[in-house]
Amino acid sequence: MKKFLPLSALLFLGASTLLAQESKDDVLKDLDAKTKKYGEIAHNIWDFAEMGYLEEQSSGLLQKTLADAGFTVKKGIAGIPTAFVAEYGSGYPVIAILGEFDALPGLSQQAVPEKVSAGKAAGHACGHHLFGTASTAAAISVKDWLKSNKIQGTIRFYGCPAEEGGSGKVYMVREGVFNDVDIALHWHPGAANAASAGAALANKSAKFRFHGVSAHAAGAPDKGRSALDGVEAMDMMVNMMREHIPQDTRIHYVITNGGKAPNVVPDFAEVYYYARHFSREVVTDIFDRIVKAAEGAALGTGTTMEYEMIGGTHELLPNLTVQKIMYDNLTKVGGVTYTEEEKAFGEKISKTLGKETLDLATAENIQPYKESAQAYGSTDVGDVSFTVPTAGLGAATWVPGTPAHSWQAVAAGGMSIGTKGMMVAAKTIALTAIDIFQNPDTVKAAKAELEERRGKDFKYVPMLGNRPPALDYRK
Ligand SMILES: [Zn+2]
């Protein structure tokens, strides 16, 4: 139940909220004051642990938070029910803050420093519950700042589903929903605080499906043709191919269906592949060779094969014009300080990572700025970065040394260490957006840099082609 306050109290509260947002320091104080609120939102999404394109509650909670704060929300973007854009303000410049909220299959974990499943189908092992929430917090505080200072411009939050393999942002880029954006800001949970120029591998993924003939595996094996043989022959050839592909290529697969019982020759089998490299041309070439291996495997095993493109992302294009502003603001915000309880949690996690001591300095400090970086992951932010000048940061939401996609990442992300790191990101992004609103010339310089980096003849071609969103890829 709501308590009713006297009118004078409401006026006073209204006035103080407005005053509280006039300077950058006020914005920081305001975000500090809302740490508990945003921590609860993040924890709810952590608890929902919804996988790509199934994030109805997670997306809904962020939509509601933004709508309650005065944003206009449009959902169901680009044919994706959980994709949305929330907007406040009008006119130039248009600054987009990206947010994600999907969990990873099979990584359910409680918020404790030992491996204990929470009994769910998925877990937030990439911290996207923090990603979505901190970006929402940043967007709302920028909105408050625009309003108090009566500054013109548009702040948008992009609710981006299915980053983990679903390439949600690619469909949004393809649909053109970033076309009128001037700058895009993003971040990612991690084990350190850094705002160097980002890098990521371009990526192409597909599910290869083999069809054979069922028969009794002992009584009539000659009547059968094993779809699993097709998968195994394909995997064999792709594994041999590893010797003859460029360095820094990554190829990985999981057999998602290998038949049901040894005494039945499987008439269906499926293998899910990723191919990655820093250059999308190399990825395309390798992917085409993987398809050839699949065709050869089908031919040799007397099966048939078809494949479905699942995801495809560009590499990440840095924009140093915006990146430097992000770094300066991260330095101003600073890192994370652990309480005694958090130290005890961190020490236990460190031991599970094979480390004798907890590396507190990494959580507390900011990594030195680098103009180039190599990082062996992929992100659909890549496609945004070829469309709009884009900059990002990483914040220490996990115990130092924790790899992404681990139970240790889920554990720290579900407690106060995750919330603290998330607020570093919220603050840094808010201050960076404010800097850009105050110096719109930055937009011109950033756009000139984008033009130069992607080249005159650049034309955006989505790696996943013209397929509709793979809404069922986690089902
Ligand atoms: Zn991620």
Per the model's pLDDT, the better-predicted residue between 17 and 187 turns out to be 187
CA of 378 to the centre of ligand 1 (A): 9
What pLDDT shows up at residue 375? 81
Mean residue pLDDT of the chain comes to 95
Q: How many angstroms separate the alpha carbon of residue 356 from the centre of ligand 1?
A: 27
End-to-end CA distance of the chain: 39
Cα of 87 vs centre of ligand 1, distance in Å, is 24
| pLDDT confidence tier of residue 5, bands split at 50, 70 and 90 | very low
CA–CA dist 457, 467 (Å, integer):
24
CATH 3.40.630.10 domain position(s) in the chain: 24-198+316-454
- As a whole number, mean pLDDT of residues 17-45 equals 89
Q: Give residue 285's pLDDT.
A: 98
Is the pLDDT at 395 greater than 50? The verdict is yes
- Contact predicate 242/221, CB 8 Å: no
| Average pLDDT of the residues in 248-254 | 97
Q: Give 165-184 pLDDT, tens digit per residue.
A: 999 999 999 999 999 999 99
Distance 100 CA to ligand 1 centre (A): 8
Which pLDDT does position 237 carry in this prediction? Answer: 98
Identify the pLDDT of residue 4. Answer: 43
Q: In angstroms, what is the span from residue 325 Cα to ligand 1's centroid?
A: 23
Which part of the chain has CATH 3.30.70.360?
202-313
Residues with CB under 5 A from ligand 1 (ion): 126
Question: Sorting pLDDT into bands at 50, 70 and 90, what band is 20?
Answer: low
Ligand 1 centroid to residue 440 C-alpha, Å: 30
Q: How many A from CA of 123 to the centre of ligand 1?
A: 12
Mean pLDDT, residues 17-39 taken together: 87
Distance CA 332, CA 393 (A): 14
Give whole-number Cα distances, 359 to 248, 337, 400, 405, in Å.
29, 12, 6, 20
Instruction: Tell how far the Cα of 22 is from the centroid of ligand 1, in angstroms.
Output: 33
- Please tell me the distance between residue 180's alpha carbon and the centre of ligand 1 in angstroms: 25
Mean pLDDT in residue range 408-421:
98
Phi first, then psi: give them for residue 186, nearest 5 degrees: -150, 175
pLDDT band at 376 (very low <50, low <70, confident <90, very high): confident
Give 24-198+316-454's CATH code, choosing from 3.40.50.2300, 3.40.630.10, 3.40.50.300, 1.20.120.610. 3.40.630.10
Q: Assign 88 to helix, strand or coil.
A: strand
- To the nearest 10 degrees (0 to 180), the angle between helices 280-301 and 227-241 is 140
**In this prediction, what percent of the chain has a pLDDT beyond 70?**
96
CA 414 to chain centre: 17
CA of 128 from ligand 1 middle (Å) equals: 6
pLDDT tens for 283-340 read: 999 999 999 999 999 999 999 999 999 999 999 999 999 999 999 999 999 999 999 9
Cα 301 to middle of ligand 1, angstroms: 38
Residue 249 has pLDDT above 90, yes or no: yes
Output the CATH code of domain 202-313: 3.30.70.360
Distance CA 189, CA 397 (A): 6
Residue 102 alpha carbon to ligand 1 centre in Å: 9
CA of 162 to the centre of ligand 1 (A): 10
pLDDT tier at 193, thresholds 50, 70, 90: very high
**d(C-alpha 270, C-alpha 307), whole Å:** 9
* 70-120 pLDDT, tens digit each: 999 999 999 999 999 999 999 999 999 999 999 999 999 999 999 999 999
Nearest-5° Cα angle at 61, 471 to 70:
120
Asked if 109 and 410 touch (Cβ cutoff 8 Å), the reply is yes
Q: Is the pLDDT of residue 372 over 90?
A: no
Residue 95 DSSP SS3: strand
The rounded distance, in Å, linking the Cα atoms of 269 and 309 is: 16
In eight-state DSSP terms, residue 199 is -
- Report, as an integer, the average pLDDT of 161-165: 96
Q: Using the mean position of ligand 1's atoms as its centre, give its distance from the Cα of residue 149 in Å.
A: 34
Rounded distance from Cα 198 to ligand 1 centre (Å): 13
Is it the case that residue 345 has pLDDT exceeding 70? yes
pLDDT of residue 14: 42
